Amino acid sequence: MQAIKYVFWGALALLTALWIAVEPQFFAAASLFELRATMMQYTGVIAMGCMSLAMILALRPRWPEPWLGGLDKMYRLHKWMGIAALVVAISHWLWAQGPRWAVDFGLLERPVRGARPAAGNQVEQLFRDLRGGAEGVGEWAFYLAVVLIALALIKLFPYRLFYKTHRLLAVTYLVLVFHSVVLTTFAYWMTPIGVVMALLMAAGTWAAVIVLLRRVGIDRQVKGQIASLQYYPGVRVLETEIDVPTGWPGHKAGQFAFATSDVSEGAHPYTIGSPWHADRRRINFITKELGDHTSRLREELRVGQEVKIEGPYGCFTFDDACPHQIWIGAGIGVTPFIARMKNLAQLHNEDGGRTGSQTVDLFHPTADYDEEAERKLRADALAAGVRLHFLIDARDGRLNGERIRAAVPQWRDASIWFCGPIAFGAALRRDFAQHGFPVSKRFHQELFSMR
């Protein structure tokens, strides 16, 4: 989380500093209308900078994953950039409209404008000629962007509709690029802020085109076929085993992939519930009925059906040198730990049980129960040499930091790997931080929320 905070605030600070470098008179504005002119430029720069970065992140680029902590963190940054763009764009609109409203109500007097200096070249004159059209289409694009971003933030809005409407943001972005290029102070383009904004909007435009052509992640997609389906009614979980005969590069336990079984529904992210065997070439997904889409999977999927798999993504891969690891898989958040246990069992079989020196405690709190699911989980833990703490909420009470520390005396020397409800993970992180645990270095949390 620290990395994406640094990138978010660093980007805002950098754009602000570069803008102030070319607009130092901002601090000496003589009137509200002078302040309005500079603030419209500033808010436009920040809004388009944030929207451009959000558009670039929508391509799911692989290169930032290691230093941002995985695609789940990158999607969180994408969300923050979208919210920031929305807030600043509203401010931009208010600076544009507010003084006009004040003049209409007689609260302010419209300033007398002198003759505008002649354009320095033909390009500047062209931009001046386009100002009226750029203002008009920009205003309507702003209204549409507000609606689309708001829908993306409303979790009750169905994913299948979000998948379709969210892509329209690429169209509004392209319109706003035109609006920004024409209305940005022309002198900016020969300064560092102009160069940075030109690069950001060029990259964002490329990303928008890729999104509109539905080519996101196309080079990381492979075709697979459903080999088996098993449903666990007690926990409302479906386990899907998929053959991927060619193209899949392999994955680490703890990573996830996007799967598409219905083109109209789009790709959904799922944690991979199995290790990779190059000689077997199968991927397991373990999905819980949590919404419209996942609740329909049991009826819609069938053995032999073709699906598309894109990935792998994520950095929740258990890579550290701590002598002990504490795993907390709450509810369906146990999936990456199932994959890791199967991976450890595979390694133990290959080298006769000499693999590694780490000891592991897995805590699996759950509100639901299925006897077959518990039997399989216990078998996986036994084969991997993992100590399992299986907790049913109604029987054993809620899991908290105190119970974990009591069960694992060596917790101070361990690393903690959490996957489950985000609020639960945040509460555990705060609890361990209060007890002196270095959470910034050794508390790893999967933020498996793509909206």
Portions of the chain given CATH number 1.20.120: 2-212
**Phi and psi at residue 275, to the nearest 5°:** -75, 175
| Confidence bin at 291 (pLDDT 50/70/90) | confident
Q: What is the Rg, in whole angstroms, of the alpha carbon atoms belonging to the chain? A: 26
Nearest by Cα to 185 from 116, 139, 137, 85: 116
C-alpha of 346 from chain center: 32
- Note the pLDDT of residue 114: 63
Q: What is the pLDDT of residues 260-271, one digit of tens each?
A: 998 878 888 999
CATH C-level class of 2-212: mainly alpha
What token pair was written down for 354? 């000499």
Please name the residue ranges forming H helices in 184-277.
Answer: 192-212
- What superfamily in CATH does domain 218-313 come from? Translation factors (2.40.30.10)
Say if residue 332's pLDDT is above 70: yes
324-446 CATH: 3.40.50.80
- Note the pLDDT of residue 451: 64
Portions of the chain given CATH number 2.40.30.10: 218-313
Q: How many CB atoms sit inside 10 A of residue 13's CB?
A: 10
CB 405 within 8 A of CB 411: yes
**Any residues with CB less than 8 A from the CB of 320 and at least 6 apart, and which?**
415, 442
CB 447 within 8 A of CB 72: yes
What token pair was written down for 258? 């996007």
Portions of the chain given CATH number 3.40.50.80: 324-446
What average pLDDT does range 138-144 have in this prediction? 95
Mean pLDDT over the full length of the chain: 92
Q: How many CB atoms sit inside 10 A of residue 81's CB?
A: 25
Give the C-alpha separation, 421 to 74, whole Å: 18
| Confidence bin at 294 (pLDDT 50/70/90) | confident
Amino acid present at 195: V
Least confident of 145-154, 159-168, 200-209: 159-168
CB 346 within 8 A of CB 277: yes
Q: What is the pLDDT of residues 295-304, one digit of tens each?
A: 889 999 999 9
What average pLDDT does range 91-106 have in this prediction? 89
